[in-house]
Amino acid sequence: MTTLIFGTGWLYSSKGKNRSVQRTQALLKDGLTELMQTKPVQNITVRELTDYVNLNRGTFYLHYRDIQDLLEHLENDILDEFIEITNAHQPQDMKGKPFPLICDLYKFLEKNSDFVKLVLVNNQEQNFMNRIKEIIRERCVNDWDEIFANADPRLSEIYSSYVLSGCIGIIENWIRNGTRQSPEELARYTEDIMLNGLNILK
C-alpha cells in the first residue's frame, strides 16, 4: 500500500478554504509531486493519480480540469508563497544583513524540497524554474538600485546575475545532498559568500 509523504505543507497553505477541500487538494498535489519523481508529468493520467491517492476521478474533476491544471495550481501556490516571503523583507535588509531573507527562503525551499528537487536536480518544469529566477533577479536589481543609488546599472545587472547563479548552485547542491545543513547554517554560509567572497576560505 502506498504511503503518501505530506512534507510540502499544502494542507494549511490556503486560508479560508473548507478543511475537506484543503485535504483533498493536499492529497492531489502531494500525490502528483511523488508520481513526478518516477515519470514525466505528461505521462501521468488522472486515473493513475486518483488511484495513487485513493480518490475517485469525479472528486479530482471537482477541483481541476486535468493534470496540467493541477500542476499549474501547484506551481502558482509555490510562487505566491515565494513572493510573499520576499515581500516581507525590505530592501535595506539586504544591505549588510541579507541573512533573514535568505534563511526564510531556504526554510521555504526545504519545506518544498520534493518539488524543488524535480526542478533543479531532475530538470523537470524548467519554465517554473525560470519564473523563480526572474523573481529573484528583479528583486536583487530593484533592491540594489535602491540601496546603491549611484551604482552603475550595468554593474548591478552583472552582480545580480552572479549572485543568482551562485545561489541556484548552492541550493541545487543542498537539495541533491538531502538538505544536510539546516536552513540557518546554509543561509549563514550564503551571506558570508555574498558579503566576503573568497575571504571566507581563509
pLDDT at 14: 46
Q: What Rg do the C-alpha atoms of the chain give, in angstroms?
A: 19
The answer, yes or no, to whether residue 35 has pLDDT greater than 60, is yes
Q: Identify the CATH class of 88-201.
A: mainly alpha
The answer, yes or no, to whether residue 70 has pLDDT greater than 60, is yes
Tell me which of 1.10.12, 1.10.287, 1.10.10, 2.60.120 is the CATH number of domain 10-67.
1.10.10
Is it true that 10-67 and 88-201 share their CATH fold?
Answer: no
Query: What is the pLDDT of the chain when averaged over all its residues?
Result: 83
Contact between 32 and 49 under an 8 Å Cβ cutoff? The reply is yes
Torsion, CA 132, CA 67, CA 5, CA 83, rounded to 10: 20
Q: How is the chain split into domains, by residue range?
A: 10-67, 88-201
pLDDT at 64: 97
First to last CA, the chain: 52
pLDDT in tens, 108-155: 999 998 888 888 777 667 788 888 888 887 777 777 667 677 777 777
User: Rounded to whole angstroms, how far apart are CA atoms 60 and 32?
Assistant: 12
pTM summary value: 0.77
pLDDT at 1: 40
Question: In the structure grid, which three cell numbers stand for residue 180, read together?
Answer: 544536510
Give residue 8's pLDDT band: very low, low, confident or very high (50, 70, 90): very low
Burial of 92 (0-12, 13-18, 19+ CB in 10 A): exposed
User: Rounded to whole angstroms, how far apart are CA atoms 193 and 112?
Assistant: 24
pLDDT at 137: 78
User: Rounded to whole angstroms, how far apart are CA atoms 68 and 60?
Assistant: 12
Contact between 94 and 101 under an 8 Å Cβ cutoff? The reply is yes
Phi then psi for residue 159, to 5 deg, are -65, -40
User: Rounded to whole angstroms, how far apart are CA atoms 154 and 160?
Assistant: 10
Place of cell 479560508: 16
pLDDT in tens, 161-176: 888 888 888 998 999 8
